[in-house]
Chain A
Amino acid sequence: MNFKRIAGTAVGPVFAILSALIAGGILLLIIGFNPLKTYSQLFSLGVGTYLGLTESFKRMAPLLIMSAGLIIVFKAGIWNIGGNGQFLIGAIFVGGVAPLLVDRVPLFLFFIVLCILGFVGGAAWVTIPAVLKAKYQINEIIVTMMMDFVAINFSSYLVRYPLNAQPGRFPQTILIPLEKRLPNIVFTEIHIGLIVGIVVVILAHYFIKRTTLGYEFRFAGENKKAAFYAGVNIKKVIVLAMLLSGGFAGLTGAIDVLAIKGAFQAEWNPGYAFSAIPLVFLAQLNGIAVIPLAYFFSFLSIGGEFMSRAAEVPVFFVQVIEALMLIFFGVSEYLKKRSKLFCGF
């Protein structure tokens, strides 16, 4: 019974992935590449090499943490699509404050304080759209998206002027020394952000499923009128859900700075939210399903980056695959709905 249910929900994403790979193969053929060769290269670089594996696991961390926030906010029926901006603000907060703390506090406290700071930064950035939505019913999609542009320019200003480590050189904040970065998981070269990611996404999953607040979030997301009738404070749900998702986006920025970058650099905008949004939809907003899919997305993007160097396949080819996956997922949902209509399952 349980197995059947899991299999039933996995059908959609698996169908989407396979169809996207096939359609991508046809595209490759059209633009003059040998699809079989390209894919085997993609897999051997992405999975077959130590570097490919390690890098893919590292890339999972930001996707997982970002997804945790998105699951929560999407379940509450709110469209925070400004994760990239919230990410940047969390990252610049950490990049700016880390040098002040780095030699003054014990290392573990350093990490904790900065992670919290990143979370607060991301949450702070989403307060404006959250309040506008809760108080005046202003569409959050537009406001969160516009706040992205503001975040890009605001962080760019900060890193070029007040927080610039060495004016005249390429603008970035003061670098955190290598020995003060987030440690690796034992026996690997993968930083512990991966564990943080897995933990928060599982927590988000159970938060939504098993807590009273999570119930209120789902309630408001499914049927606002009924939630109001049952006495759920809709405004509280809107603000809290948005703050949590913004916070997780900011935490993603903190982890990326603390583990990999060591500083906030100008022009840096990895756009994790735009991968995490399709990811959580493929996972049908299920936190557990997010984990394997996050691996697949990471593998695609790392493998794609490697391949573009080796085989001259353009790097955005993997983005084409991601987009195709979403399209085919939509198709599978449609087919499922139809068959449900007619077979009654």
Chain B
Amino acid sequence: MASGGETVVEMRGITKCFGGMFANDDIDFDLKRGEIHALLGENGAGKTTLMNILSGMYHPDSGEIFIKGKKVRIGSPRESLELGIGMVYQHLTLVPTLSVLENIFLGTNRKFLLPKKEAEKRVRAISKKYGIDVDPHVEIWQLSAGEQERVEILKLFYRGSDVLILDEPTSVLSPIEIDDFFAVLKSMADAGKSVIFITHKIEEALFISDRVTILKKGVKGGEIDLSGIDIENEGARLKEKIVGMMFKDASFSEAAKEESRKISDRVVLALDGIVAKSDRDVEALKKITFDIHEGEIFGIAGVDGNGQKELAEVIAGQRKVESGTITLNETEITNRSIRFINEMGVFYVTEDRIEEGSVANFSLAENAIFRCYRNEPFAKSGILLNMDRIKNYCDGLIESYSIKAQSSDTIVKTLSGGNIQKLILAREFSYCPAVLICNKPTHGLDVMTMQYIRNELKAQSEKGVSVLMISSDLDEIKEVSDRIGVIFKGEIIQILPNRGTSKKQIGRLMLGITD
């Protein structure tokens, strides 16, 4: 840890306005050599915007930037790269059909022929130096989110960046991947690189960083130097302090699941011996059998990539079942159309909010009606869209989920990551469905919103909605579930009651250790 090192980045009085709304308002920020500096703040607080300014994506309306003491004007991402600043975006930007090496080349190579050999050698050297472990020849689509994150970092090192901006790198990682990832961060900082690290998990920020800066609705809420602070003992107090800096009225309670809840005997959703293939045409689900009762929250715990996505898709009708049956309220829905299953009352919050859960160029209103655009009152006799009704409805969702957007006509791609997630949740939650499938419902949400969503899930289950809750976050699973199924290599290897089961027990099962 190198606090007191030379200042490599200094941003002074940064202000950025989007059509009358201040995303950043007079923000000061600085970064030292070898420092890990966490940036915290609620959804839409302006974290990504501030970093986009540093990486040359946006130009500030006012304010100054100094790199190693020299005043600069960063006109484009290229200029920022040349200054040694590299950013990994909130939503990963690798090309799935290209190999790791080819992705690393993209945008950097100026030669006519790709200098493959030479580059591969450099990539391997960098991998070794920082302990970033990836095979340069595999194609991106075969990698997990954690591995992709590493490729993004590798790419920045290849380009010679010594200031790395990582926008919510951990929100898509599973706990084990996070540990590996932190090890990489540490080795980077020790080698004199500086890291800006955006996260919503305050514990992570306290654990890994030397300093934290907090943004609150576009202004700087505070800054805390963590060097020399005993996190073990002071962690709880610090967390409270930070939450206080992030939100106006910070009063939230982690209400644990009421353990003595009586669940109805009625089975709503039953899966029997489900087998299905993944996109890579290998068997992703191997004879999955379980059922969910009315008003029950059934948690699926597992390390990412063990069939969670396929499981959700099979129920929602998005993926073909090879064998086995799915029954919803005594009606068989195996391999029925997505629309039919949806009309039967199955709603699905996908984990992929950018590619699948929303349309970037549609307005909020158009994104809000994915599931209901054919129905009265949104469409007259199923043909003519009633835009006023649609906007009203969307305004209601914006209001009740406090989505930060200018209006229902706003284009979704201008929303912050967390606010897009809120919009998707609002849309799928608002029908009081029979079955609600949630895959990582709270990823990218700030602590308050996360708690709101978890409480909302519990409230829905009280109303009789059956919830399938998929998450790699054990705390989340423990907090909301009635029963927990552990998925490993496409099989539910054990189903346990939440009560009386420890996190450690589940953690071991997640790695496939049954004894």
Contact = CB atoms under 8 A, between A and B. Distances in A.
A9 interface: no
Contacts of A213: 383
A231 B58 contact: no
Pick the most buried of B356, B358, B360, B382: most chain A CB atoms within 10 A of its CB: B356
Contacts of B362: 218-219, 222
A229 B385 contact: no
B318 A230 contact: no
Nearest to A206: B384
Given A210-B385, A210-B387, A215-B366, A226 B358 contact: yes
B339 interface: yes
Contacts of A229: 318, 338, 348, 350, 356-357, 370
A233 interface: yes
B356 A226 contact: yes
A344 interface: yes
Interface string B373-390: 110000100111101000
Contact of B58 (A219, A230, A342): A342
A212 B338 contact: no
Contacts of B357: 226, 229
B338 A211 contact: no
Interface in B291-331: 318
A233 B75 CA distance: 44
Contacts of B267: none
Contact of B379 (A212, A218, A222, A342): A212
A108 interface: no
A225 B337 contact: no
A274 interface: no
Interface in A330-345: 341-345
Nearest to B378: A212
B342 interface: yes
Interface in A209-242: 210-213, 215, 218-219, 222-223, 225-226, 228-231, 233
B241 to A, nearest CB: 33
B279 to A, nearest CB: 12
Interface in B2-22: 16-19
B385 A215 contact: yes
A212 B385 contact: yes
Nearest to A216: B373
A251 B385 CA distance: 27
B355 interface: yes
A191 B39 CA distance: 67
B381 to A, nearest CB: 10
A212 B456 CA distance: 31
Given A228-B338, A229-B318, A223 B355 contact: yes
Given A222-B362, A226-B357, A345-B19, A212 B59 contact: no
Contacts of B384: 210-212
B87 to A, nearest CB: 14
Contact of A212 (B18, B339, B361, B373): B373
Interface in A140-169: none
Contact of B361 (A222, A228, A230, A341): A222
Contact of B371 (A212, A225, A230, A233): A230
Interface string A301-345: 000000000000000000000000000000000000000011111
Nearest to B385: A210
Given A230-B370, A344-B19, A211 B385 contact: yes
A344 B16 contact: yes
Contacts of B448: none
B57 interface: yes
B339 A225 contact: no
B317 to A, nearest CB: 8
A219 B342 CA distance: 18
Contacts of B474: none
B484 to A, nearest CB: 26
A241 B370 CA distance: 20
Contact of B318 (A211, A228, A343): A228
B27 interface: no
Given A212-B382, A228-B338, A223 B19 contact: no
A215 B373 contact: yes
A212 B383 contact: yes
A222 B339 contact: no
B46 to A, nearest CB: 13
A133 B314 CA distance: 25
Nearest to B75: A342
Pick the most buried of A213, A218, A231, A342: most chain B CB atoms within 10 A of its CB: A231
B18 to A, nearest CB: 5
B359 interface: yes
8 contacts: A210-B384, A212-B373, A212-B385, A215-B373, A219-B359, A223-B355, A226-B370, A344-B16
Given A212-B374, A223-B355, 19 more contacts: A211-B383, A212-B383, A212-B385, A215-B373, A222-B360, A222-B361, A222-B362, A226-B359, A226-B370, A228-B318, A228-B338, A229-B348, A229-B356, A229-B357, A231-B338, A231-B342, A231-B371, A341-B58, A342-B75
